[in-house]
């Protein structure tokens, strides 16, 4: 049960907070043990809308990166965890993260560890994050782990932004192309038809075909739109099922240009996850469980699950990887070297950096190919429509 309290510290500073306990007497004891003198205490409301907002609203990655770096700096300077969190709570600009930090402070004062308190807020702190923090608490190098997590999240965010920016240009160009062709077909060509009818001239076959297409769209456009939307909804529902997610992931990996980029991105993310968690001291089976939970690609998740099973049977990490074509030879060889030398974290970091560089080069090359291809496509469409219009004008002049 949760209890809200108002108290003041030894420095006569007023403090408000919340504590979890079995009853009000146990709550009083917890607050007194924290060094506070209680002014008032009462049961908290059974439903808190602020918690609902926090649970439904994800915190931006840049806020977690900044929080991790500042928290590491405060802990390194000798500040205790509760004081560091309270200082950061006053400085954080994101109101949802501020509420989360306040709830974490309350949980820690109630006897919880930092990692256990963070585990309650998956929208801000992922499973990889709070498990790494738990390892840092045990080893006593919490500041180092916080910095490593900040670097890890920052690299993931940079990769995501790079892919997003690469895909935005062709999408915008495709939308513009559809709009241009739509305006010409729906508004310009019907004007020519009216001009032909006013002169009583026979419409050329090519123009008549386009105008028939316009009439078909006008007559059955809503029906076609409904069918298209229904098909999209059906595909969306299917790809939300386990089988659909697997087929989508498999299809994305087999695409001509994007497939290789997605594979490199997934492998670099997996390599960095294993490297980070191995460095902080987690066992490999647990690391693979977190790597499986951290990927959205079901083919990669299946491959990592098979590796985890073989690892538990004593086959190591590189041998199971060699059996699956998802893992490229460089990663398999470097993992074997890391297992032999005991420097698995360093070799996987090298693999991640290599794949990130290759992925970045391939994204740049793909964007360089997409831009002229889309420009040529638009030019061909506009040229075809222009040729139809010009031929129609010459046909009209000839008949006149």
According to the model, what pLDDT value does residue 70 have?
A: 92
Give the Cβ contact number of residue 312 at 10 Å: 11
Query: Distance (Å, rounded) from C-alpha 365 to C-alpha 149?
Result: 30
- 285: which residues sit within 8 A by CB, 6+ positions away? 308, 311, 312
φ/ψ region of 12 (left if φ > 0, alpha if ψ in -120 to 50, else beta) reads: left
Range list of β-strands (E), the chain:
2-8, 14-20, 37-43
Topology adopted by domain 173-400: Receptor-associated Protein (1.20.81)
According to the model, what pLDDT value does residue 49 have?
A: 45
Topology adopted by domain 1-46: Ubiquitin-like (UB roll) (3.10.20)
Taking every pair of C-alpha atoms in the chain, what is the biggest distance, in angstroms? 102
Is the separation of the CB atoms in 351 and 334 below 8 Å? Answer: yes
Domain boundaries, the chain: 1-46, 173-400
The DSSP string of 298-325 is: HHHHHHHHHHHHHHHTT--SHHHHHH-T
According to the model, what pLDDT value does residue 47 have?
A: 45
- 79: which residues sit within 8 A by CB, 6+ positions away? 87
Instruction: Determine the 3-state secondary structure of 40 from DSSP.
Output: strand
Q: What is the full per-residue pLDDT of the chain (400 aa) written as tens digits? A: 677 888 877 777 777 777 777 678 777 887 777 778 887 887 775 544 444 454 455 788 889 999 999 999 999 888 899 999 989 988 888 888 888 998 899 888 888 889 999 988 888 888 888 888 988 888 788 888 899 889 888 888 887 787 777 667 777 777 877 787 777 767 776 676 666 666 666 666 666 776 677 777 778 878 888 999 999 999 999 988 988 989 988 998 888 878 888 899 889 988 988 888 888 888 889 889 888 887 888 999 999 999 999 999 988 899 999 988 899 999 999 999 999 998 998 999 999 889 988 988 888 787 777 777 777 877 787 777 777 667 767 766 666 5
Please indicate whether the domains covering 1-46 and 173-400 agree at the CATH topology level.
no
């Amino acid at each position: 049960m949760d209890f809200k309290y108002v108290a003041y510290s030894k420095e006569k500073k007023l403090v408000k907070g919340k504590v979890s306990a079995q009853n009000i007497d146990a709550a009083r004891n917890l607050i007194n043990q924290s060094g506070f003198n209680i002014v008032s205490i009462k049961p908290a409301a059974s439903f808190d809308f602020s918690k609902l907002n926090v649970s439904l609203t994800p915190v931006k990655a840049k806020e977690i990166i900044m929080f991790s770096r500042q928290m590491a700096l405060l802990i390194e300077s000798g500040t205790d965890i509760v004081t560091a969190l309270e200082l950061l709570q006053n400085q954080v600009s994101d109101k949802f993260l501020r509420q989360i930090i306040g709830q974490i402070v309350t949980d820690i004062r109630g006897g919880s560890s930092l990692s256990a308190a963070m585990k309650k807020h998956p929208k801000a702190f992922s499973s990889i994050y709070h498990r790494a923090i738990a390892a840092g608490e045990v080893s006593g190098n919490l500041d180092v782990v916080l910095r490593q997590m900040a670097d890890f999240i920052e690299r993931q965010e940079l990769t995501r932004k790079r892919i997003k920016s690469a895909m935005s240009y062709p999408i915008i160009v495709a939308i513009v192309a559809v709009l241009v062709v739509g305006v010409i077909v729906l508004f310009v060509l019907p004007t020519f038809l009216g001009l032909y009818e006013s002169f009583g001239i026979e419409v050329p076959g090519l123009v008549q075909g386009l105008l028939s297409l316009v009439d078909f769209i006008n007559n059955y456009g809503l029906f076609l739109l409904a069918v298209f939307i229904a098909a999209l909804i059906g595909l969306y529902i299917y790809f939300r099922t386990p089988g659909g997610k697997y087929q989508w992931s498999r299809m994305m990996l087999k695409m001509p240009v994007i497939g290789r980029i997605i594979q490199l991105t997934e492998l670099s993310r997996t390599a960095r996850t294993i490297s980070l968690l191995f460095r902080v001291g987690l066992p490999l089976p647990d690391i693979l469980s977190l790597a499986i939970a951290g990927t959205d690609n079901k083919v990669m998740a299946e491959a990592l699950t098979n590796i985890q099973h073989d690892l538990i049977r004593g086959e190591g990490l590189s041998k199971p990887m060699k059996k699956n074509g998802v893992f490229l030879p460089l990663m398999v060889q470097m993992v074997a070297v890391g297992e032999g030398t005991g420097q698995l974290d360093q070799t996987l970091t090298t693999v991640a950096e290599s794949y990130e560089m290759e992925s970045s080069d391939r994204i740049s090359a793909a964007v360089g190919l997409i831009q002229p291809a889309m420009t040529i496509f638009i030019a061909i469409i506009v040229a075809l429509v222009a040729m139809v219009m010009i031929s129609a004008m010459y046909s009209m002049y000839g008949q006149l």
